[in-house]
Every structure is written in C-alpha cells, then in structure tokens.
Structure 1
Amino acid sequence: MSERRTGSVALGIVFLTVFLDLVGFGIVLPLLPFYATELGASPFEVGLIIASYSAMQFLFAPVWGSLSDRYGRRPLLLVGLFGSAASYVVFGLAQSLEVLLLSRVIAGIMGANIPVAQAYIADSTTIERRARGMGLIGAAFGLGFIFGPAIGGGLSPWGYGVPGFVAAGLSLAGATAAWFWLPESLAVENRARDGIGALSAVTGRARSAVQVLSRKRLREPIGVFFLGTMGFAGFTTIFPLFLDNPLGLSALYAGGMFALVGMVSAAVQGALIGPMVERYGEQANAALGGALLSAGVIAMGLAQSIPATIVSLLAVGVGWGLLAPSLQSLVSRRAMATEQGEVLGVNQSASALARVIGPVAAGWAYGALGPGMGFVAGGMLIAAAAAWVRIMPGREAPASAPPPGGVAE
C-alpha cells in the first residue's frame, strides 16, 4: 500500500500543536487533586472528576478517528485545539465542584483527537519508520509533562484557577500554528466513503470496537495497553494526594515531580525508542517498559521519604517512556493503511476506559484502604500487562482487508 509522505516540516508542525495542547493538559494535571480537595472533594470524588475526562475520551475517540478517516486529519485537529482552549477557561473560572467537573468533561471531548494526530503520523511515515513517528507524539506527551506541571506548580501560589488561563492561551497558540501551517495528510483516494466511517457517533463507536477487537492481532496489543494504562492512570491520580498526605508537600512540589517524570519519559521516547525498537522490536521494549513501570509504581506505595519517592519516579518515567509508544506502534503496524484512524481511535478508547476505571479505583483505595494500596494494585496490573506482551505471538504485518460480512485475522 502506498503512503503519502508530507515531509519533516509537517511532522514538526503536528508535533508543535500536540505539544502546546499537552502543555496545557500538563498544567492542570498536578493541580486538579488539590483544586478539587479545596472545593470539598473526597479522594473518591477526586478520582471521579479525573475519570470524567477519560470517560468523554472513551466515548468520542473513535468518533474523531472515524471522522478524520472520512474528512481528513487537519479539520479535526483544529476543532480539538480550539475546544481545549475553551475547557481551560472554564477550569480557570471554576468555583464549585460542578463547574470543575464541567471543565473536565469539555476537555475530555476535545482532547479525544489524539488518535487523529497519531493517524496523521501514520499517513506521513513508512511502516519501518512508524515507531520513530509515534515517538514524536510520545515525546510531545513527555515534554508536556515537563513544562506543563512545572508551569502549573509554579503558578499555583497565585491560585489554582490562574494556570487554567495560561493553558487556554497555549492551546490557542497551537490552534493558530495548525491553522496557518499544517497541511492535510490524508489523500482523497485513501479516505473512507462508506462502512464504519459513515456510521453515527454512537453506533460507530460500538461497531468499530467490535470489528477491531474481533481480530486477535489487534485485540492483544490493545488489551495490553488497557491494563498498563489503568495502572498508570491510578498512579497519576493518587500521587498528588500522596504528596499532600502523608508527605505534606504542596502543588508546587507535585508540579516539579511530575515534570521529572516527563523529562525522563521524553528523553526515552525522543532518543531511545526508535533505535531500541529497530534492534529489539516493539514487544520486547513494551515488556521491559512494563516491568520497570510496575516496579516504580509498587515502590511508590512503600516510599516513606522524598529520596525514595524520586527513585520510584525515575523508574516510572523510563517504564512509561518505553511502554506507551512501543504498544502504539505495534497497534499501528497491525492495522491497514485505510483504517489507521479507526483502529487508533479504538486503541485510544481502550486507553480512555482504563483511565476511567483506574482513577476511580485508585481514589477509592486511597481513601478506604490507605495510600499504599492504590500504588500496589496499580503496579500489579502493569506487571500483568508486561507478562502478556512478553508471551504474545509476534504478528506485526498489517492485516489484509476483511472479506464482506467477515473479519480479517
């Protein structure tokens, strides 16, 4: 199958737009548990508010993917960026848990276009270089985790709402860059004209998932990503609460420590993931990353000091930096060129569902069972994901088109 190469400049622009949007996301990440707690939320309610963002991603990610397969990547990226800016304005104005929840719902809907960016990368790279391309998205996440939490933590002494307005400005900057300089990546002849891409939003999500997950070659890496993400999402939810109690640290410290994880993750994804995948393959790297991530999360539950916490964070950063892009690349490799947006949208929905369950479960465990249990349970889930990908049969070639009325294995 032919692939349309849009060039390094276009990839640089999509990286920039995703990076600016994720800096905005990173700004609110370490603040949200403190913000919600200040407004009267329990640990379980903190988990619910964080989960609302991912619940919307779960519902809308395949919709964005399907629409991008039909209408192109660029317009969907623009809508998501402008919508994210609006959500951060609402976040900055929140004076109640209800308004804070509304801001996260809007952000979840508009942030569900990450699979569109992944599909843009898939359109613009060869199969052999796709892991490097996905590494750009991973690096954008990592850099967003560096600058976003650092900015959010640094601004937190002036109030938890102020960083929201800064995040809105960054999303608008990304939207402006995409508006003027981002070309379309999906050739007209490769756009879907019927089938899944033309279904309504609700039935399209269900039928996409059924059709994609009925194929073992896609179901397995998506399932691994689901388990790993569930554990990691629980970690990111309760970590700020853990810093507050029992360590007694503020949002300023939470921002710095999240930035440390982002720095390590970005270094791994930007410099190491491409050569490591070329030498060892996606599955071996995902298994190694899952093992390191599991060890770091479990060790966090046992940490009783700031130095022990930092060591655990280093393992978390390296582990996530290896695990996430390796699995995303593996899913993309096993999908056909004409269904990249659809399949990556289902993968994003599986990740979003994990980010719904993980925060709620971890928040409940933190409040009911004590701080350590949420970390230990999440680490065990990640260990299961690492074991699964390690024993998974290696079938990386793209699937053939399914016959009428059937599915391709």
Structure 2
Amino acid sequence: MNKKPMLALNLATFVIALGYSLIIPVMPFYMENLGAGGRELGWLTAVYALAQTICAPLWGALSDRIGRKPIISIGIIGYAISLFLFGLASSFWTLFIARSLSGILSSATSVASLAYVGDSSLEHERSKNMSQLGASMSVGVMIGPLLGGILAGYSLALPFFTGAAISFIAFILIVTLLPESIERSVQSHKRETFDFAHLRSMLLGSTGIILLLIFIVNFCQTGLQGITGLYFVDKFGFTTGQAGVIWMVLAGVLIVVQGFLTGPLEKRTGEKRLILIGIFCKALVAFAMVLTSGFVSVLVVFSLFAVSSAITVPTLNASLSKVANEHKGTLMGFASTAGNLSKVVAPLLAGYLYESNIELPYIVMGAIALIGVLICFIWIKRK
C-alpha cells in the first residue's frame, strides 16, 4: 500500500478519535451552561454509540457498492458539520441532534477506512496497516482531552470549532490524496451480484467466529475501562494526577505496540495464535486487577492491558478483511456494530456488578475473556 493513501487514512482516523476525545473535558461544563445534568449526559453518550451500532453495517454495504472514498469523504465532512453544530448549540436538543449526527457519520469513516486497508494491503501487510490505524486513533484519544482542556480556557465552544476545522482539513486531504481502492467495473459487478445467501453462509463460518471474538474483546475492554476510574478511587484513593499517569501510560503503550510491534509479531506467530495470546492476556489482566495492591502494580497490569488490546483488535480486523472477499465493507460494518454494541452493554453490566462488589466486574470480565480463549482455541484447531 502506498504511503500517501495510508497517510490520508491515518489522518482521517486520528481526526475521528480527536473529535471524540476533544470534548471529554468540556462536556460537563457545556452541559451545565445549558441547564442539563447527568441524565442528559448519559443520553448523549448512549445515542452516539447507538447511532454507530445501527449505521455501521449500512455504511459498509454502501461502500461495497459505490466505493470506499465517497463514504470516507461523506463521514469526514459530516463529522465537521456535527462538531460545528456542537459549538453553536444553545439547547440540549441541539446537542442531542449534533451528537446523533456525529455517531452516524463517524461510523462511515471508520468502517470504510478499515475496508480500504483490507482492499489495498498485501496479505502480509494487513495487520501492520490495521495497527497503524489503531495507533492513529490512540494518538487522537491521548491528545484530544489535553487540547480540549487548553482551548476551553478561552471559550467552551472553541474545542468544537477547532475539531470542525481539523475535520475539514482532513476532508480536503482525503479528496486530493486518496485514490479509490475499488475499480468502477468491479463496483458495477457488485451491484448486480450481491448475494445475501453467500453472506449468510460466511457469517455461519469462520467470519462469524471472528465477529464473535471482536464482540468479546471489545466487551471486556469497554467493561474494564468504564469502571476502572472509580475503582482507582474507591480501592486505592488515587489522586487525579496518579490516574492521569496511568491513562497516559496506557495510551503510550498502545501507540508503540500498535505502531511498531503488532505487524512483526503477527508474522512470527501467525494471526490466530496472536489473537489467542491477546485474549488470554486480557483474562490475566482482569484477574490480576483484583490482586493489585498499589500504584506500581496497577501500572504494570494496565501496561499488559494495553499490550493485549494493541495486538488483538487490529489482528482481528486483519483476519476479517482476508475472509470478507467482495463483502469487505459490509463485514467491517458488522465488526464495527459488534464493537459499538459492547460499548452500550458492557459499561451497564460492569456498573451493576460494581455496586454488588467492586472486584466482581473484573472476575466476570476475566471469565468472559476465558470463553473467548476457548472459542479462539477451537477456531485454531478447525481445518
């Protein structure tokens, strides 16, 4: 895959992550200014994930029919518009509409970008290129809150306008630098021959196993991440500075492993074994969190959590892109839906478990990860 298309895709992924995380430190104050509270904030969080869950397969299927570049472009420019609306919002309902639009359109860019990498990468490069997209997302997530906090010191609306401007720049670069990855003749053929029966048979085979593993991995990750901040305070009494250091280390390890190590590791061990190792590490992390006794031990365990996430998610996406054939966009949409659905369900389950016993979410997530290990082991043994 050429450097210019990969650069444009990395930028698009970075922008989506930056726009998502840029508003994290601003939202509570923004909501307070509009007279909204925790319930409204919960709705904004839920509608974003729900919109992505519903729309991702639709965008993926559309990218199979009309091409990846138009879908990526629509997602980026639409995302810029949604952030601009956030900056102009004068009521909660304006925020709600803007956040819904943001979820709908960000899923377009994410799904089509993954499908584009699957189209354009040689087989031995897929995991590396998928990991680079993940690293770009991690950089955006790490920089976003810091940048948002600085800009909010001048104006609460400034982070949103800045995100909109960055998104528009990314749109220009996508339009000018990114060639289409699907030939027009191939697109016309796909419009005539889309076979739902063939797609269903794929979902009942190895493709279905990969999608199930994507759901399990994202479920465990989201469940653990959603409750861990509270766990730090209740169990250890960590300060905001200590918690910030842990999350910064997490992001740093993700960037390094995804950007430089996942590809070489996949070549040495093979995709399926690397996925098995990653899911097993996730189970170890969940159980080890119960045994942590302080800042240093938490830092070590969370570093392993970052490694497991960095090697598992991009490798699963690379495996899916290999079996997807002409339905690559559609199946990447299903993969996005599996991940987003976990973001809706896992935090709710973890929250209820936490109210019963603060260690229980980690035990349950560890057990679910072990189920994933068993499924992956069976998958490896299948011919």
Q: TM-score range by the shorter chain?
A: 0.7 to 0.9
> Aligned pair in 2 of structure 1 residues 358, 122: CA closer, same or farther (>3 Å)?
same
- Picking from 86, 101, 104, the partner of 1:106 is 101
Shift of 1:237: 2.7
Distance 2:93 2:357 in 1: 27
Q: Number of residues paired by the alignment?
A: 377
Question: Structure 1 residue 352 and structure 2 residue 340: aligned?
Answer: yes
What corresponds to 1:392 in structure 2?
379
SS in 2 for 1:183: coil
What corresponds to 2:349 in structure 1?
361
Task: Note if contact 2:12-2:170 (Cα within 8 Å) is conserved in structure 1.
Answer: yes
What corresponds to 2:169 in structure 1?
173
Shift of 1:109: 0.6
- Picking from 359, 377, 381, the partner of 2:368 is 381
- Picking from 54, 64, 72, the partner of 2:59 is 64
Distance 1:105 1:302 in 2: 40
Q: CA RMSD in A?
A: 3.4
- Deviation larger for 229-238 or 156-165: 156-165
Task: Note if contact 1:212-1:343 (Cα within 8 Å) is conserved in structure 2.
Answer: no
SS in 2 for 1:128: helix
Task: Note if contact 2:119-2:181 (Cα within 8 Å) is conserved in structure 1.
Answer: yes
Distance 1:84 1:243 in 2: 34
Q: What does 1:107-122 correspond to in 2, within 5 Å?
A: 107-113=102-108, 114-122=110-118
Give the alignment's TM-score, normalised by structure 2.
0.84
Distance 2:85 2:245 in 1: 25
Task: Note if contact 1:64-1:116 (Cα within 8 Å) is conserved in structure 2.
Answer: yes
Q: What does 1:226-237 correspond to in 2, within 5 Å?
A: 226-237=215-226
What corresponds to 1:202 in structure 2?
none
> Aligned pair in 2 of structure 1 residues 134, 208: CA closer, same or farther (>3 Å)?
farther
The structure where helix makes up a greater share of residues is: 2
Question: Structure 1 residue 40 and structure 2 residue 37: aligned?
Answer: yes
Give the alignment's TM-score, normalised by structure 1.
0.79
Question: Structure 1 residue 82 and structure 2 residue 77: aligned?
Answer: yes
Question: Structure 1 residue 321 and structure 2 residue 315: aligned?
Answer: no
Task: Note if contact 2:131-2:310 (Cα within 8 Å) is conserved in structure 1.
Answer: no
1:194 partner letter: E
Question: Structure 1 residue 13 and structure 2 residue 8: aligned?
Answer: yes
What corresponds to 2:191 in structure 1?
193
Task: Note if contact 2:118-2:322 (Cα within 8 Å) is conserved in structure 1.
Answer: no
Deviations 1:225-272 (A, max 9, x none): 10110121223333444456664645x876654343222112111111
Distance 1:32 1:308 in 2: 32
Shift of 1:390: 2.8
Distance 1:189 1:354 in 2: 37
Shift of 1:110: 1.0
What corresponds to 2:275 in structure 1?
286
Task: Note if contact 1:20-1:144 (Cα within 8 Å) is conserved in structure 2.
Answer: yes
Distance 1:152 1:60 in 2: 27
Task: Note if contact 2:116-2:181 (Cα within 8 Å) is conserved in structure 1.
Answer: yes
Distance 1:97 1:300 in 2: 38
Distance 2:358 2:88 in 1: 31
> Aligned pair in 2 of structure 1 residues 208, 146: CA closer, same or farther (>3 Å)?
farther
Give identity over the alignment, percent: 26
Task: Note if contact 1:217-1:395 (Cα within 8 Å) is conserved in structure 2.
Answer: no
Give structure 1 stretches of 5+ with no counterpart.
Answer: 198-206, 397-409
Distance 2:242 2:149 in 1: 7
Task: Note if contact 1:153-1:256 (Cα within 8 Å) is conserved in structure 2.
Answer: no
Shift of 1:297: 4.0
> Aligned pair in 2 of structure 1 residues 131, 325: CA closer, same or farther (>3 Å)?
same
Shift of 1:118: 0.9
Task: Note if contact 1:66-1:342 (Cα within 8 Å) is conserved in structure 2.
Answer: yes
SS in 2 for 1:129: helix
1:346 partner letter: F
SS in 2 for 1:67: helix
> Aligned pair in 2 of structure 1 residues 230, 120: CA closer, same or farther (>3 Å)?
same
SS in 1 for 2:38: coil
Shift of 1:154: 5.2
Q: What does 1:131-142 correspond to in 2, within 5 Å?
A: 131-142=127-138
2:38 partner letter: A
Distance 1:333 1:279 in 2: 18
Deviations 1:169-215 (A, max 9, x none): 32222222212222212111221213549xxxxxxxxx699726643
1:353 partner letter: L
Question: Structure 1 residue 25 and structure 2 residue 20: aligned?
Answer: yes
Give structure 2 stretches of 5+ with no counterpart.
Answer: none
Task: Note if contact 1:88-1:103 (Cα within 8 Å) is conserved in structure 2.
Answer: yes
> Aligned pair in 2 of structure 1 residues 177, 361: CA closer, same or farther (>3 Å)?
same
Shift of 1:146: 2.7
Distance 2:259 2:179 in 1: 23
Task: Note if contact 1:88-1:107 (Cα within 8 Å) is conserved in structure 2.
Answer: yes
> Aligned pair in 2 of structure 1 residues 370, 93: CA closer, same or farther (>3 Å)?
farther
Task: Note if contact 1:264-1:318 (Cα within 8 Å) is conserved in structure 2.
Answer: yes
What corresponds to 2:47 in structure 1?
52
Shift of 1:299: 4.1
Shift of 1:308: 3.9
